[in-house]
Amino acid sequence: MKLISKVLLALGVFTLAACDSSDGILVPTDDTATFTKVQVLHGSFDAPAVNVFVDGAEAFSGVDYKVGSGLVELDSGNREIRIDGILPGGDATVIGPATIGFGPDRIYTVAAVNSVSAIEPVVISQPDVPVSPDSARLFVLHGTAAAPAVDVYVTAPGADLAASAPVGTFSFKQTIGPAEVAAGDYQVRVTPAGDPATVLYDWGTRTLESGDDLTLVALPNTRGGAAPVTLVEMNGTATIIRDDINTPTSLQVVHASPDAPAVDVVVEGSVLVPGLEFPQATGFVEVPAGTYNTSVTVANNPGAIAIGPVNLDLAAGVRHSVLAVGPLSSIEPLILTDDPRRVATNAKVRIVHASPTAQDVDIYVTAVGADINAEAPTLENIPFKANTGFLALAAGSYDVTVVPAGTKTAAIGPATISVENGGVYTAVARDPLPGATDLGLIVLDDFID
């Protein structure tokens, strides 16, 4: 949890990143001043989530990558800070309690950036003053270590960048602004410095309203597509991910219906996946974001529709797993949202209940060879079509055992799995293969990659 230590050290000295402002180094003032405002952003793409405590009370809970806290108003002066890291074995205090001084009448943004192995804080500050009438204010931080020096263009929609001037050029940890622009419609684009023909990021047309006061942080893109960065917008109350306008969506299909024949997946009238058999999966395919009319038919028989047609709304930057579940007589789609971000401090493991013959189940994740009779279930009463979400596990080997709820009789397993920190894993509980009697698992993600 080096991330937390460095963030608090940064708060303690209030060192500004290289930027266009001239505030230099801020020195905390006396306690006669009134208030200060602080917002925190998790910008380390492979770091775990954290909890932040102020004066013994939890102020920020489960702050994950690309999530900000919103502005918190504090009395200026000294505050006691404690931070707990969310680790596979449970929360642990990793810094503090530490007494930190806050200066008055300022807005502080504290962003932890870079990978866990090279994590570092950037603290930027601006005066806490109103935005001018009929204007919006932007404060932009370059938070992507792997990205080069870039030019930032804020133009009328569709403007020719070759005929436009950038609002600024900056490198990792530097800032542009804070600067005001007239309220209206704008297109923000990012290019390599001096190369307006190569657009690295384009947020499309966006209306900046009068009074908007936005902190924008360019962070590594973990959501698919060619853009190396995503802009994270902090408006004081919420954090919004602004993907590149061309960011695709991703889709994989899993055949988990035990008595259904091979199927074709038909999207907008064309076969996207032909001849998928139980218990196969396609792997992820990138497609443009949008709404798709989708059906599942018997392979090579488009008139024999098993599922649908249904309209699937597939959002940009989101991975979707679509499972065909249940017996053929009541087959239906089960749509899951995936979380592909890799965390350096743990593996992420998800188990999906897609066995129609099994009732509610308990799931045990134990040391290899452990007797579940001496263990409490890791998860209890999981119904058909439910899933565990992504569980954080330390690297190593584990036994996974699935039992009917309230019993100790294994329906699946024990199945030994091996996981690594930074890995993402999914296992789908399924009915027996044709001619077999044992339930089993369909393994996905890093189990097969």
Residues 6 and 113 in one domain: yes
End residue of a domain, out of 283, 307, 338:
338
Q: Domain range for residue 43? A: 1-129
Query: Cα separations (Å) of 239 from 116, 232, 235, 260?
Result: 22, 7, 7, 44
161 phi, psi to nearest 5 deg: -65, -30
Residues 120 and 134 in one domain: no
Determine the Cα–Cα distance for residues 127 and 16; give it in Å rounded to an integer: 13
* Number of domains, the chain: 4
Determine the Cα–Cα distance for residues 229 and 215; give it in Å rounded to an integer: 16
Residues 25 and 111 in one domain: yes
Residues 396 and 314 in one domain: no
Residues 200 and 257 in one domain: no
Run means of pLDDT, 10 residues per run, the chain, 449 residues: 44 38 38 75 90 85 90 82 78 68 85 85 90 98 96 98 97 97 98 98 97 98 96 96 97 96 95 96 93 95 91 95 96 95 95 96 97 97 97 96 97 96 97 94 91
Residues 14 and 42 in one domain: yes
Residues 352 and 276 in one domain: no
Residues 321 and 373 in one domain: no
The CATH number of the domain where 147 resides is what?
A: 2.60.40
Determine the Cα–Cα distance for residues 310 and 131; give it in Å rounded to an integer: 46
Residues 61 and 106 in one domain: yes
